[in-house]
Amino acid sequence: MEPTPQSETRTYSTFGGGRILIRYARTAKDPYWALGKPRIVRWTPAFEAALGKPRIVRWTPAFEAKVACFVEELSHLLPDLSSLVLAGAWHDKWRTDKDHKPCRHCQGRAIDIDSVWWDNDCMSLVTETAYGTNRKTYLGIEAVLRRTFGTVLNWAYDSEHHDHWHCDDGTAPVLRPGDLTGKARNSRVLFIQDALQTVFGCDCGPMDGKWGPLTNSAFCGVMGNRGGGREGYPDFLKRVAEKALHWRDG
């Protein structure tokens, strides 16, 4: 299978009408933790790898629209959102994952986020440390990501994602029937358990990523008559985001 054809060229480095900059901070001059330099985001056949040139991020038009949707929704909760620092987006070498499925980065359908900045870039959430020191805000931002992207891998998922969120649209942003069987560890269920404990203060048993009676009871207790299980998942994400980021109201 070949990479997604890129027939149209469009260049941009911001979202939100120019208010929110796309940045990159994994170079010798701008290491991880730094705000980094603004980077050009575009889809085009060219790929400039030299560190001294703008780092190119290629997305399909559909994926770009999803990134814009995430930024727009997060901007309502963080009105002074100013920068997203990426760990990367597009790989120029076509490859498959361990299950021999096409790499979403190679398809222009993935984004890795190191940190989120607001208040004119004076305040930030850096993923590597925030899970341990500011987990509620971390989960609030992740809830917004999960409302748009079906796959989000985070700090709790595995050690490879301790320093960034990986997001792609390889799956729909819904709970699938298999997620509720409790047979296998699942990143969506892992997030739900984490949010139930951290944001809502519920006892849902061990945070093992498996849907069981305690997780179901806690989830239904939080959602009440708003719906449980698969039907209540979108509203649950909205409630997590609003409650976790409520400090912005004051």
Spatial distance between the Cα atoms of 22 and 242, rounded to a whole number of angstroms = 24
What is the reported pLDDT for 49? Answer: 35
Give the Å distances, CA to CA, from 81 to 49, 85, 219.
28, 12, 30
Tally helices (H) and strands (E) across the chain. Answer: 6, 10
Give Cβ neighbours of residue 164 (< 8 Å, ≥ 6 apart): 87, 112, 113, 114, 127
Residue 108 has pLDDT above 70, yes or no: yes
* Of 3-17, 18-32, 58-72, 163-177, minimum mean pLDDT range: 3-17
Pairing of strands 81-88, 20-24: parallel
Q: What is the CA radius of gyration of the chain?
A: 18
**Could you report the per-residue pLDDT of 116-145, keeping only the tens digit for each?**
999 888 888 999 999 999 999 999 999 999
What is the reported pLDDT for 51? Answer: 27
Angle, helices 135-148 vs 187-198, to 10°: value is: 140
User: Which residue has tokens 């942003």?
Assistant: 173
What is the reported pLDDT for 59? Answer: 75
Q: Give 58's pLDDT tier (boundaries 50, 70, 90).
A: low
Q: Which among 112, 132, 154 has a CA at the least distance from the CA of 25?
A: 112
Q: Give 110's pLDDT tier (boundaries 50, 70, 90).
A: confident
Spatial distance between the Cα atoms of 170 and 177, rounded to a whole number of angstroms = 17
Q: Give 5's pLDDT tier (boundaries 50, 70, 90).
A: very low
What is the reported pLDDT for 13? Answer: 64
**Could you report the per-residue pLDDT of 141-188, keeping only the tens digit for each?**
999 999 999 999 999 999 999 999 999 998 999 999 999 998 889 999
The pTM is what? 0.83
Give the Å distances, CA to CA, from 67 to 9, 28, 145, 162, 167.
17, 27, 9, 21, 10
Segment 188-212 mean pLDDT = 96
Q: Which among 112, 21, 31 has a CA at the least distance from the CA of 75?
A: 21
Q: Which among 151, 173, 149, 175 has a CA at the least distance from the CA of 230?
A: 175
Residue 6 has pLDDT above 80, yes or no: no
Which tokens belong to 80? Answer: 């002074």
Averaged pLDDT score across all residues of the chain: 80
Asked if residues 192 and 237 have their Cβ atoms less than 8 Å apart, the reply is no
Task: Select, from the ranges 12-26, 81-95, 195-209, the one with the highest average predicted confidence (pLDDT).
Answer: 195-209
What is the reported pLDDT for 111? Answer: 87
